[in-house]
Structures are given as C-alpha cells and as structure tokens.
Structure 1
C-alpha cells in the first residue's frame, strides 16, 4: 500500500494522528521516570488528541470506515474507561500497556483509513455501527480487566501482592459488569443488523462477520449463564472471555482486514 497519497489527502489529520501516537509512545516508554502528575497530564493530552482525530474523521467527506478505524475507536473507548476508573481505583496499573495499544491503534488508522462511503444505504446504518463499536469497546475493556485479574491472581499466588494491588474480587466484579454490558450491546447490534439485512436484502445474510459475531454472542452468553448458575470464575472465566473477544475480533475487524489489506477490495 502506498502511504503517501493517504497522508497527503488529509495532512491535518495525519499531523494530529502522528502527535497523538507520539504522545502515547512517550508515555509507554518513559512512564516509570515521570511523576504521577506528568503521567496523568500526558495521558490526558494523548487521549484528547486521539478524540480530536476520531471526531475529525466523522466530518471528512466521503466518510471512511474499516478495520483500523474500528480498532482506533475501540482503543479510545478502553482508554476512556481506564481514565475514569483510575480516578476511582488508583491501584489500577496498566498505563504503559494501554498507551502502547493507543500508539498502535492510531498509527493503524492513519495507514489504513478504511473504505469510502459516499452514500449510506440507510440513514440508520450509523446506529448499527455505533452499537457495534460500543460493544467492541466494552468487551475490550472486559478483556483488559480479565488480564489485570490474571496478573493480580498470579501476584497473590507468588506472594508478591501488596496493599496497593487491586483487590481480586473487585477486579472480577468489574470484569463481569463489562461482559454483561458488552453482551447487551452486542445483542442490540445483532438485532439491528438483522433488521437492516431484512430491510435491504429481504432476508438474513450470513456473512463471515455475522457468523463470528453470533459465535461471540453465544460465547459471552454461555459465560454469563455459567457465572450465574455454576459460579464460573478464575481461569475458566478469563479463557472464555478471551475466546468470545477473539470471535468478535474476527467478525468485523477480521473480515474487513482480509478485504482491505489481503484482497484490496472495498
């Protein structure tokens, strides 16, 4: 892919994306040598620049969307959750990891801005996109919390847990709250997608993204049922979250990656 035309088509967006990615990268690299106030300030700056990049993309004509912008929005949503939660729970320690994720997401969206949509087939289609991206963000937040839960459990088993470590039960509760919220939004996304499919094609169209999204929905549903009826927790719950998130990632992001990057089709 030739990157220069992509950058020249919108130089202001390219500049903002570069500065946002650099801010995230500096935070990921130098956070241990910075004061807490400096870390918060740089994270807020990178987060705000990332938001400006996303908002600017909404007003670009024609509208473009694809796997990389979906990842970028999801990463911003996860960082938003972290910024809010870190105020409530100062014990959360995932700044460098999420900053590295932010760097990668912004750069991916800059290199692969997605396919143009000069005309939407339905005025309600953005609602379907919004629901889908929101479900991505919430389930991605659940994945981050499941990862933190694994770390906390490992630290406790090895005797490395301290008073500043996030309590394991609190992490577990937060994880399942995000799973439940993501499952609800994913359910709404699938219902909206089925409605649009019936309206445009007069039938439910079983595409790759539909199949993987339904598999993700079933996996998360089984997890919530297992949690409620069987008390699933620990490694079983974490692995099921990873599996469901993997299916969801293969849904829209995976199918669009193959179309845009491998097959070079819109």
Structure 2
C-alpha cells in the first residue's frame, strides 16, 4: 500500500506538471477542472504515502527529507484550495514538481526513527505540528520578503525578472495571508498539544520557547485581524509578518542559544 501510494503520488504530480507546462508553453489558460482534479488526486496519494513515511511500526520519522515531504504536501494543499478562487497556475507549475521530488526523496530514511518507547503519540503529534507550522510560516516570511521586493519594483517602475512568471501582486498577497492563516492554525494546534502532552511547558528549560511562541501567535493573530478588519496589506503586512516570525525564530533557536550558550557559560564562568 505504501509503495502504491508513493508511486501514484509521483505519477499524478508529474501529470499535473505536464498539463500545467503544456498550457503555459502554449500561452493559454489550462482547463482548471482536470488540472485541479489531478492535483487533488496527487495530494490524496501523497497523504497516504506520508502516513507510512512518518509512522513506522517502531517509531516516528522527523528527519529533513520526511519533513520536506510533509511541508510540500501542506503547501500544495493550500494552493489547491486557493486555486479554486485565484489564478495560481504558475505556482502549480512550480510546486507540483516539488511534490514529485519530495515524495521520491522521503523514501530514503535519512535520519532514522525515533523509538515509540522514547516518544509518546501525543509528543510526536506536537512535534509534527510544530515543525510543519514553523516551516510553513518560514515560507510565508520568504513570501513577504518577495512581496516587499515586488512592491519596490512596481514603485520604481521596474517590473521584471521572476515577477513576470508569477501571478499578479494581489494574488501573491492572497497567498501570503493564506500561508499565514494556515500556519497560524497549525501553530495553534501545536500550542494546544504542547499544553496537553508536554509536562510543564513553563519549566525553566522550556519557558523561553513557550513565551516566545505565544508572543508569535499573538502577533500573527493581530496581523490576520488587521488584514480582515482593517484591510492591512503591502508593507504593513510585511512588517507584521517579519516581527511575528522573529519571535517564532527566537522561540525555536533563541531558547536553544540561551540554554546551551549563555546559561552554560554563566554556569561554568
């Protein structure tokens, strides 16, 4: 079943890529129903493949290749949902081949399996949600930086480069807020599972990560509220995205720096 899902996902992602590429080369709009149907089928097969990739009889996989496959699936799902209302065909042409590569790469067990005896199901779910949320919000940050660049190009009347190959600015802004909203849902689930399954999230070795993650969640919430209620967009959205991601990055890496470098040096000072 795992091998069948794996190769079915690769075949359907490849068919999606070919259909999108043929339409792009002929400079005509693709027939969206078959294109999105192929992408949806690829996502179903990819999801089944991911189940067997991430969960083995002996434990759970958290290595880079497995996580890249999970993030690729999440982004392609978001694009599928948005493509029903937005012209995202160029992104499908970019992301469907990424699906092929990540599904194929995830077959290789690069980092080994975390044994079930060392990791409960609840902690494994929390870890998967945290990694996926962080990855998705990282991509949202890169998207925000690109939007800033695109805004500057338009302001200086110098549109060009990669901008000619991608959807219009308004569509790319919709994708940014879709990424942030999807990432915020995963971050919320990550925090909830953390409080449910992690012993004392405010213990000394976890308090930095917990507080900064909650701060990031609040900043992303303000950004989404400002967009939907006050119409925030453009550079305002970029600034809030970068500020929220800075807090999230400190939560993931700053707490490690505090624990392993600063406190370690003060202890052995």
* TM tier relative to shorter chain: 0.5 to 0.7
Whether contact under 8 Å (1:63, 1:116) holds in the other structure is: yes
Output the CA distance in 1 between the equivalents of 2:180 and 2:191.
Answer: 16
2:110 counterpart of 1:109: no
Contact 1:72–1:106, Cα closer than 8 Å, also in 2: yes
The answer (yes or no) to whether the contact 1:64–1:116 under 8 Å persists in 2 is yes
What is the match of residue 193 of structure 2? 192
Per-residue CA shift, 1:84-121, capped at 9, x if unaligned?
21112125631233234324433442332642323364
Corresponding position: 1:95 with 2:96: no
Q: Following superposition of structure 1 onto structure 2, how do residues 1-266 of structure 1 map, counting pairs within 5 Å?
A: 12=3, 16=7, 19=10, 23=14, 27=18, 30=21, 32-33=24-25, 36-37=30-31, 39-40=35-36, 43-57=39-53, 60-68=56-64, 69-91=66-88, 93-111=90-108, 112=110, 114-119=112-117, 121-129=119-127, 131-132=129-130, 135-136=133-134, 139=137, 142-143=140-141, 146=144, 149-150=147-148, 153=151, 156-157=154-155, 158=157, 166=168, 168=170, 171-172=172-173, 175-176=176-177, 178-180=179-181, 182-183=183-184, 185-198=186-199, 204=203, 206=205, 215=212, 218-219=215-216, 221-222=218-219, 224-225=221-222, 228=226, 233-235=233-235, 237-238=237-238, 241=241, 245=245
Kindly indicate whether the alpha-carbon contact (under 8 Å) linking 2:150 and 2:169 is maintained by their aligned counterparts in 1: yes
Residue-by-residue CA offset, 1:64-91 (whole Å, 9 max, x unaligned): 3113222211210110010121112125
Aligned residues: 239
What displacement does 1:203 show? 6.5
Whether the 8 Å contact between 1:216 and 1:248 is mirrored in structure 2 is yes
Secondary structure, counterpart of 2:60 in structure 1: strand
TM-score by length of 1: 0.60
Q: Give the aligned CA root-mean-square deviation in angstroms.
A: 5.0
CA distance in 1, matches of 2:244, 2:119: 30
Is the Cα contact below 8 Å between 1:183 and 1:220 reproduced in 2? yes
Structure-1 separation of matches of 2:147 and 2:214 = 22
TM value normalised by structure 2? 0.59
- Structure 1 residues 114 and 106, CA gap change in structure 2 (3 angstroms): farther
Runs of 5+ consecutive residues of structure 1 not aligned to the other structure: 1-9, 254-266
Higher Rg: 2
